[in-house]
Amino acid sequence: MCEFIKDGDTDEVKNTYYCGLRCDHPAAAALFSASLYGFSQTQAKHVQESSSQVKLMAKDMILTATIILVFTALSVGLWIYRSIAVPLVKLKKATKNIKEGNLDFVLEVEGNDEVSQLCQDFEEMRKRLKESTEEKILMDKENKELISNISHDLKTPITAVKGYVEGIMDGVADTPEKMDRYVRTIYNKTNEMDHLINELTFYSKIDTNRIPYTFSKLNVEDYFSDCAEELGLEMETRGIELVYANYVEKGVQVIADGEQIRRVIHNIVSNAIKYMEKPRGIIQLRVKDVGDFIQVEIEDNGKGIAAKDLPYIFDRFYRTDVSRNSSKGGSGIGLSIVKKIMEDHGGKVWATSRLGIGTIMYFVLRKYQEVPMNE
């Protein structure tokens, strides 16, 4: 049915008019339009079928786009779950473990994105935290052992001093010879305690890397001659012979801290004296020229050190089986102090020994050599 356009018709209604006529049915409109433009009825049908196919294709495209969007959303959701949600869950669990004091786990996360990198950094932090905790536990154990050793070492000379003082007070030292022997023994024992306290104080500085070094040029001949003279006086009071020999030419110098090198020599000699059990003790101090270095050798004729103990004698708190079972004890830090001082001087220390014959301790210092300036 066709009608002419009316004034009150809406735009939607007007769209169904063709050349001023209104056609209510789309097919009729198509036929009418075709007739106006010279199309046959068959051609008009083809147009109508093409319109239907276009609509069908549009529906297929919308369905395909919807499927693609759903698939994409699922893929993105899965990626987010794997890349963010899973690592965050693992990170939360790891945080809880650390909060509870458990560091014995591994945070395994794969990938190179920001979240994976965060988890890897967290795992590195866990490793360092675990290492720090283990070091603290070991340090606490070593400190307890040190306190035990020092308590034992202090108790021995204190007991001896107390006994000799009581002997003097009770009049046991009734002759000048006895009195002199008692006083000398008391003096030696108090020196032992003083040395032990100094070692402990110095050890605390080593542990915090606060050793006060004052480096200067030292004349080898003069310096070690003075050291030998000091040692000779101490050895004389103990009934031990000191043999000194210098094989270095005059004028040779080293850069070192004189006070700390004296500590090195004193600790080595004290260790030798502590385990000197022969009637006639002999300690030899030799200074040699070995190319770019000065080599110092301190040899004793003591009981020697077993081959199994020799590699560990410079470790902190290490004591040989003999010293563990001996009343002489030993804090186990004297030779470790020697090693630390020599390392800080750019030198090294080592030892050779034969059971029943004696031990030789070696340490080297680099020579001071002036570099000529080119004019």
pLDDT of res. 26:
52
* Three-state secondary structure readout of 93-126: HHHHHHHCCCCCCCCCCCCCCHHHHHHHHHHHHH
Amino acid 115: pLDDT = 73
Beta-bridged to residue 363, according to DSSP, are 296, 349
Distance CA 109, CA 123 (A): 9
> In angstroms, rounded to a whole number, what is the distance separating the alpha carbons of residues 120 and 165?
67
Among 271, 335, 350, 349, residue whose Cα is nearest residue 303 = 271
pLDDT the model gives residue 325? 43
Q: Are 49 and 56 in contact (CB under 8 A)?
A: no
Q: Check residue 40 and give its pLDDT.
A: 56
pTM, two decimals, is: 0.58
CA neighbor of 83 nearest in space, from 57, 113, 123: 113
Name the residue with tokens 């301190």: 298
Q: What single letter denotes the amino acid at residue 225?
A: S
| pLDDT number for residue 350 | 95
- Is the domain 103-210 a CATH 1.10.540.10 member? no
Per-residue pLDDT of the chain (375 residues; tens, 9 = 90+): 444 445 555 555 545 444 444 455 555 555 445 554 445 566 656 666 677 778 788 888 888 888 888 888 877 777 666 666 677 777 788 888 888 888 888 877 777 777 778 878 888 888 888 888 888 888 788 777 777 777 777 787 888 889 889 888 888 888 888 888 889 889 888 887 887 787 777 777 776 667 778 899 999 999 999 999 999 888 888 888 999 999 999 999 999 999 999 999 998 998 888 888 778 889 999 999 998 999 999 999 988 899 999 998 988 777 765 444 445 555 667 888 899 999 999 999 999 999 989 999 999 999 988 766 654
Q: Which residues of 201-233 are buried (b: 16+ CB within 10 A; e: fewer)?
A: ebbeebeeeeeeeeeeebebbebbeebbeebbe
Contact of 350 with 280, CB cutoff 8 Å: no
Question: Cα separation of 241 and 235, whole Å?
Answer: 6
Residue 249's pLDDT is 92
Query: What CA–CA distance (Å, rounded) separates 182 from 167?
Result: 8
The Cβ of residue 199 has, within 10 Å, a number of other Cβ atoms equal to 20
Cα 302 from Cα 91, distance rounded (Å): 60
d(CA 26, CA 68): 34
CA distance 225 to 72: 88
pLDDT at 9 (0 to 100): 55
Give the integer Cα–Cα distance in Å for 32 and 16. Answer: 11
Instruction: Break the chain into its structural domains and give their ranges.
Output: 103-210, 213-375
pLDDT for residue 151: 75
Q: What are phi and psi of 40, to 5 degrees?
A: -85, 170
240-246/281-290 β-pairing: parallel
User: Among the CATH numbers 3.30.565.10, 3.40.50.300, 3.10.150.10, 3.30.70.20, which is that of 213-375?
Assistant: 3.30.565.10
Backbone angles phi, psi at 233, to 5 degrees: -65, -40
Separation of CA 30 from chain center: 88
